[in-house]
Amino acid sequence: MVKKFLILSAVCAFAFAKGGFVGGDGSSKGEFIEYGAKSYRVVSVKEAKDLRDDTKVTLVGNIKKRLNNDDKYLFVDKSGASITVDIDDDDWNGLVVSPDTKIRIVGEVDKDLVGVEIDVDDVLPVK
C-alpha cells in the first residue's frame, strides 16, 4: 500500500511540475501568432519598449538571467536588445529553460514611471 502511494505521489509530482528558468533571438516584423482565440503580434524588444501600456505582444529570444528573488528575468532577443519580463510560476507551463533555450513569451507591455517591462502570460517553446 505504501509503495503504491509513493509511486502515485511521484507520478503526480512529475505531472504537475511548474517548470522555470535554470541558469545564469529573434523576431520578425509583421509576424503574428495565434494564441487561443487571439492573435498576437511578434515584435522586437526595441519595438515593445515603444508600444503603449497593455499592448499584447509576443517576443522570441532567450532568458539570460533571473534578476531577483521575485519573478523578474532579463530577456534578450536576436538583436541583443534586452527587457525585463515578469513571469509568474504558473506561466511557465512546465517548461524548463536555460540561457541557451530559445522561447516565445506572450504577454502585455507594462509601462510605469520607472520603465517598461513585459507582464508574461505564457512561456512557450520555439519549434
pLDDT value at position 105?
A: 95
pLDDT at 115 over 60: yes
Partners of 107 in beta bridges = 57, 120
Cell numbers found for residue 48: 515593445
| Of 39, 112, 107, 28, the residue nearest 73 (C-alpha) | 107
In the prediction, which pLDDT does 59 show? 96
Q: What is the pLDDT of residues 53-104, one digit of tens each?
A: 999 999 999 999 999 878 999 999 999 999 999 999 999 989 999 999 999 9
pLDDT given at position 16: 42
The model's pLDDT over 4-62, given as tens digits with 9 standing for 90+, comes to 444 444 444 444 445 555 544 333 344 555 555 456 678 999 999 999 999 999 999 99
CA separation, residue 75 to residues 4, 6, 65, 125 (Å): 42, 38, 8, 14
Strand 116-125 versus strand 82-86 pairing type:
parallel
Give SS3 for 125.
Answer: strand
What would the grid cell of residue 56 be? 499584447
Q: How far is CA 54 from CA 39, 104, 110, 117, in A?
A: 15, 18, 6, 10
Report DSSP state, residue 52: P
Residue 107 scores a pLDDT above 50: yes
Predicted pLDDT of residue 70: 83
